[in-house]
Structure 1
Amino acid sequence: MSTYAHDEASRVASSDTLSADERTLVDHPETGDEGYGAGRLSSEVSDGDHDILESEDERERLLTQKEGISGLFNKGVKIGKRDRNAPAKSRERKRGHNGETSALMYEMEEGIGVSNSSLSRRSSESDERRLLATASQRKTRRKRVWRRLAIYLSIVVLFLILLFAAYRVSKPAYAKAATVMVSNGTSLFAPTTILISLDGFRADFLYRGLTPTLNKFIEEGISPKYMLPSFPSVTFPNHYTMATGLYPEAHGVVGNTFWDPDLRKDFYYTDPERSMQPYWWGGEPLWVTAERQGVRAAIHMWPGSEVKIDEFEPVYVDKYNGSELLPLKVDRILGLLDLPGAMDPGAMDDQPRPQLIAAYVPNVDSDGHEYGPNSTEIRQTIKNADTMVGNILKGLQERNLTDIVNVVVVSDHGMATTDVSRLVQLEDLIDPAELDHIDGWPHFGLRPKKLSDLERLHKQVLDRAQNMSSLEIYLRDVDMPERYHFSQNERIAPLWIIPKAGWAIVDKSEMDVVEAQKNGDVYHPRGIHGYDHEHPLMRAIFVARGPAFPHKPNSRVEPFQNIELYNVICDSIGITPAPNNGTLRLPLKPVGLHTDPETPPNETPADPVNTPAATPTQAVASLPAPPATTSLVNAASSLPPAALPTPTSSAAPPAESKPAGESLWEWLKHKGETVEEWVEDFLNKHHNPMKEDGEDT
């Protein structure tokens, strides 16, 4: 047997043990192509092979038939010499088909013939169902993708919001505030304080029955009977003391007018060119302290606020406008509170809501100078100021901010009535030709042209003023009272003449005192301040209410000096004060209520003050008091004891003689105003016997 025959026999013998697939690879065809007989044609493979191959091919076709031009390259792919109808047949035999397809496959396997048209129809229906199912699956998958994408985007947006909020909170402007934010229902508020200064508002103005708002404010808040100004008791030094907590000698603004020997320049408060320069203003004012620590500040006309003292400036600065109407001040303050806060939608870095609002109100002071603190005109001015405060408080209530925003109302000093009878001629004390500069007013700081003349001039003034109890004479470096805190600065002149309350010093270029007294001239201004800061006529006010003052309503604290205000305001908005002369800190420590029996009674100091001993310039004899006025005053003694005012409340006008040098007409006019004041005050306080003396209910 040939080798080939032997191999063939071996192959046949072993083929019985091979599987159908294995036999496919080794069986000879009955006829070969070009002598090649090493295997079968692909058309002769088993049904199982067809199922596998055709299923793979059909899956690829279905997946690619809707993918555009890429599907065109897959339609003509064949494996071997497959029958043209093989794809249709194989589609009906694919694994995983529905029940109908499975039945078809069973019939074919049993030898039951199926026509090509029937197969095509069934195959087409099956393809359509398959395509619909695929489209539905794709739609479902698409929805899932979009849903996931929306979730991812929401997470990203939330993360960005949290990141932005964390960034805002991490900034100094919001670091402290974010931990103590309070909502009024529409907005979040960090600790906020409104500070209002009523220039020239004397403490006893509260006892005239003209201030229902401020008296109610006292009942709701905390206050001393009065607050002391600093010496000298004039506007610019005291407003800057309240803003810095420093005595005038420490912050450098030692008067409304003064000379600096180092700068060789003079400071004059009404001239911006000579006053609004940073080298005049020492210390750190409230608005700089706040801005340095990221707390935004708005300053409305406060003296000194227009000066660029530091790199940290208040975000809002309103320049001084003495003619501004009070309702506009109210609108300005409330408008600042209406701005969006740092954490509110629409917050603007260039227009933030301030946490500190300090506003200056000059009206009472200006009318006090022009008409006098006891004039008929000043009564209406006091009422207007009280109404302004009331409108601010009403605006806070409408915004649900009464218990959220602190309100502090203060004044810088009081005021005393002047008169031509209470004037001292400067030339009677010293020759102005020997002086280089005269600082201040109504107190006079004298700078000799020659420093070597200081001792001689001091002795001369003392000798000439020895019979004048209306004057105090001091050397800055020798005997200036320590309580004045008015010696540790070269801007303070070396020699001082300080008149008593109600008195003034004039030189002859301003007024010849002897001639003015003879002629009955009227001295202007009619009201003056700047005297001893502890004099009752110089007393100022302090009243506070809000979350930084969690005390019983109508609480009373001991009187304090205005150097303490800086610390109090800093504490109220949560900032750290710069070094200063004050020691008072929040919370304040009440000593009781204003209604307690041991509370000191309301005190109305005499104004005009009693005339001291005559001065060399008073040459006109006094005239007796007119009987009409005397009888009116004495008539009060016939009233029942319950109706009489207490000695420390609004007492009857003093029955004093006409001051020397004052004309009879001026004296009568003045007495008439005083009596009118007293009668109206008396009726206001005693028409309801249940009222506490001197206070509104």
Structure 2
Amino acid sequence: MNALTNHLIVVSFDCLSALDFPFLQTLPHFKTILEKGSYVEKVETIYPSVTYPCHTTIVTGNYPNRHGIINNTLLQPGRTSPDWNWFRKSISGTTLYDEAKKANLTTAALLWPVTGKAEIDYNLPEIFPNRPWQNQFLVSLRAGSPCYQLDLNQRFGHLRNGLNQPELDDFVLESTVHTIKTKKLNLLLVHFTDLDTQRHEYGFSSNEAIAAIHRHNDRLGRIFEALKESGIYENSTIVALGDHSALDENKALNLNVLFHKHNLITSNTKGIINNWKAYCKSCDGSAYIYVKDRHDKETISKVKDLLNSLLSDPEAGIEKILSAEEAAKMGADGSCAFMVEARKGFYFLEDFQGDYVKTITREDVLSDHKYTLACHGYSPKKPEYSTIFMASGKGIKQKTIVPEARLIDEGPTLARLLGVDLGATDGKMIEELLLLDDK
């Protein structure tokens, strides 16, 4: 299969929404992509619509229950900071960067989720220390390309301030620009989280979120400049995309509080979970309900009755209850007992002590980053909850507008641009965007 481009640069702006489209049309560098290339107006995300499953879907073309990344974090009841799906080994099947590597193409990834210890030539994976004895630089170094990271840290490490934004994305940008100028890349995956952070902390339409989109426009401009300075702009394809949207909320639901009261979760005198029969695993706007023993019909029945009792009360915050089979049909983890969807204005946490419903204030967000004022994870069928996909450059048609596509369609489309094959995927190529030889 022939490649449609020599250099594919995929830039993920985490939490970029289809609702942002009118604003993007006014910003010069986003406008460049829209005027010189083509775009999808509304991209349907996946379920649950959280970052790590979404980004794995983008590079595989598959739903979470097929590629294996069914949530951001692992099911570890009682652990205050559960481990994330950081490592490539957690993904089932192949990925865009695996196939590029097999085709002897040069690959790089900067803070792209679930790339820890992946076979990527220049890899700065998204990973952070979640244990007291760990160090940010060392956990990243061990999970990625050591020499590459040492060089980037020496050059641009001063820009970082831990995981704080916008400093983290400033570091990623300078690293991206340097990588473009110094490496002969065929595939570059870049993940910016500034906008997602601002929406979580301040709300969807906040001034802080708008300022982040302005910064993303500037970042996009710097990437254009780097491609031109390196002499590969005319033979490159730029893709700018989002992974999910977000919805404002101000109430957190703690189903584990109810499970604790009904002895489905037990804890010791130090307030630590020592056993559980049922557990609510948050995906922010949705949640998995797991039963430890899937053959425990009594517990399953008890949980079902408890959930149904909440469904009729709008103040209880639950919009829908899905069976395991229904969750699997939507691409989510079919090994759960149930999946629950929050009403607009609500989201899920995993606390098992305190109140079932907690109203979130700005002070809560400032004091504890588990609290947010906007989040995602909701069903892709929620109204006004689409994301966006835009592309320009080699192999891309000009001024073609595709009304709708799905996040699962992006992987096959990116693979076709590179001339590689992801095999049988849940998604299909968005042919309308591409300059195919046989069209």
Contact 2:258 2:352 in 1 (8 A): no
Judged with a 3 Å threshold, the aligned counterparts in structure 2 of structure 1 residues 222 and 505 are, in CA distance, closer, same or farther, namely same
Structure 1: any 5+ residue segments left out of the alignment? 1-174, 181-189, 260-264, 340-351, 591-697
**Residue of structure 2 in register with 1:317 after alignment:** 123
Q: Give, in angstroms, the shift of residue 436 of structure 1.
A: 3.7
Q: How does 1:303-314 map to 2 (within 5 A)?
A: 303-308=113-118, 313-314=119-120
TM-score (norm 1): 0.49
Q: Give, in angstroms, the shift of residue 447 of structure 1.
A: 2.1
Judged with a 3 Å threshold, the aligned counterparts in structure 2 of structure 1 residues 455 and 509 are, in CA distance, closer, same or farther, namely closer
Contact 2:48 2:378 in 1 (8 A): yes
CA distance in 2, matches of 1:271, 1:507: 11
CA distance in 1, matches of 2:305, 2:114: 37
TM-score (norm 2): 0.75
Contact 1:406 1:545 in 2 (8 A): yes
Q: Is 1:579 the equivalent of 2:424?
A: yes
**Residue of structure 2 in register with 1:355 after alignment:** 186
**Residue of structure 2 in register with 1:333 after alignment:** 176
CA distance in 2, matches of 1:512, 1:520: 18
Contact 2:45 2:380 in 1 (8 A): yes
Q: Give, in angstroms, the shift of residue 271 of structure 1.
A: 5.9
CA distance in 1, matches of 2:422, 2:59: 11
Given candidates 441, 452, 473, the residue that maps to 2:321 is 473
Contact 2:253 2:357 in 1 (8 A): no
Contact 1:416 1:529 in 2 (8 A): yes
CA distance in 2, matches of 1:335, 1:424: 44
SS in 2 for 1:387: helix
Given candidates 302, 305, 314, the residue that maps to 1:459 is 305
Given candidates 249, 259, 263, the residue that maps to 1:433 is 263
Judged with a 3 Å threshold, the aligned counterparts in structure 2 of structure 1 residues 437 and 270 are, in CA distance, closer, same or farther, namely same
Judged with a 3 Å threshold, the aligned counterparts in structure 2 of structure 1 residues 432 and 245 are, in CA distance, closer, same or farther, namely farther
CA distance in 2, matches of 1:206, 1:383: 13
Cα deviation per residue 1:107-134 (whole Å; 9 max; x = unaligned)?
xxxxxxxxxxxxxxxxxxxxxxxxxxxx
**Which residue identity is paired with 1:471?**
E
Who wins on radius of gyration, i.e. which is larger? Answer: 1
Task: Report the identity percentage.
Answer: 18
Contact 1:257 1:268 in 2 (8 A): no
**Residue of structure 1 in register with 2:197 after alignment:** 366
Cα deviation per residue 1:205-245 (whole Å; 9 max; x = unaligned)?
23236633213321211001121211110000000110111
**Residue of structure 2 in register with 1:291 after alignment:** 101
Judged with a 3 Å threshold, the aligned counterparts in structure 2 of structure 1 residues 445 and 363 are, in CA distance, closer, same or farther, namely same
Q: Give, in angstroms, the shift of residue 314 of structure 1.
A: 1.1
Judged with a 3 Å threshold, the aligned counterparts in structure 2 of structure 1 residues 208 and 382 are, in CA distance, closer, same or farther, namely same
Judged with a 3 Å threshold, the aligned counterparts in structure 2 of structure 1 residues 588 and 367 are, in CA distance, closer, same or farther, namely same
Judged with a 3 Å threshold, the aligned counterparts in structure 2 of structure 1 residues 368 and 429 are, in CA distance, closer, same or farther, namely same
Contact 1:257 1:269 in 2 (8 A): no
Given candidates 183, 197, 204, the residue that maps to 2:12 is 197
Taking only aligned residues, the RMSD between alpha carbons, in angstroms, comes to 3.3
CA distance in 1, matches of 2:393, 2:239: 9
Cα deviation per residue 1:147-205 (whole Å; 9 max; x = unaligned)?
xxxxxxxxxxxxxxxxxxxxxxxxxxxx978xx9xxxxxxxxx7110000001112212
Contact 1:289 1:578 in 2 (8 A): no
**Residue of structure 1 in register with 2:348 after alignment:** 505
Judged with a 3 Å threshold, the aligned counterparts in structure 2 of structure 1 residues 335 and 486 are, in CA distance, closer, same or farther, namely same
Judged with a 3 Å threshold, the aligned counterparts in structure 2 of structure 1 residues 326 and 441 are, in CA distance, closer, same or farther, namely closer
**Residue of structure 2 in register with 1:206 after alignment:** 21
Cα deviation per residue 1:31-63 (whole Å; 9 max; x = unaligned)?
xxxxxxxxxxxxxxxxxxxxxxxxxxxxxxxxx
Judged with a 3 Å threshold, the aligned counterparts in structure 2 of structure 1 residues 276 and 508 are, in CA distance, closer, same or farther, namely closer
**Residue of structure 1 in register with 2:145 after alignment:** none
SS in 1 for 2:433: coil
**Residue of structure 2 in register with 1:531 after alignment:** 378
Contact 2:257 2:356 in 1 (8 A): no
SS in 2 for 1:532: coil
SS in 2 for 1:543: strand
Contact 1:256 1:440 in 2 (8 A): no
**Which residue identity is paired with 1:454?**
I
CA distance in 1, matches of 2:337, 2:356: 26
Higher relative contact order (CA 8 A, sep 6+): 2
Contact 1:233 1:538 in 2 (8 A): no
Cα deviation per residue 1:563-585 (whole Å; 9 max; x = unaligned)?
11111111112222233212115
Cα deviation per residue 1:427-446 (whole Å; 9 max; x = unaligned)?
78654631443323322222
Q: How does 1:627-642 map to 2 (within 5 A)?
A: none
Greater percentage in helix: 1
**Which residue identity is paired with 2:53?**
P
| Matched residue count | 373
CA distance in 1, matches of 2:208, 2:86: 32
Judged with a 3 Å threshold, the aligned counterparts in structure 2 of structure 1 residues 520 and 367 are, in CA distance, closer, same or farther, namely closer
CA distance in 2, matches of 1:334, 1:507: 39
SS in 2 for 1:559: strand
Q: Give, in angstroms, the shift of residue 515 of structure 1.
A: 7.6
Cα deviation per residue 1:564-617 (whole Å; 9 max; x = unaligned)?
111111111222223321211546379xxxxxxxxxxxxxxxxxxxxxxxxxxx
SS in 2 for 1:583: coil
Greater percentage in strand: 2
Cα deviation per residue 1:51-89 (whole Å; 9 max; x = unaligned)?
xxxxxxxxxxxxxxxxxxxxxxxxxxxxxxxxxxxxxxx
Judged with a 3 Å threshold, the aligned counterparts in structure 2 of structure 1 residues 207 and 460 are, in CA distance, closer, same or farther, namely same
Q: Is 1:557 the equivalent of 2:417?
A: no
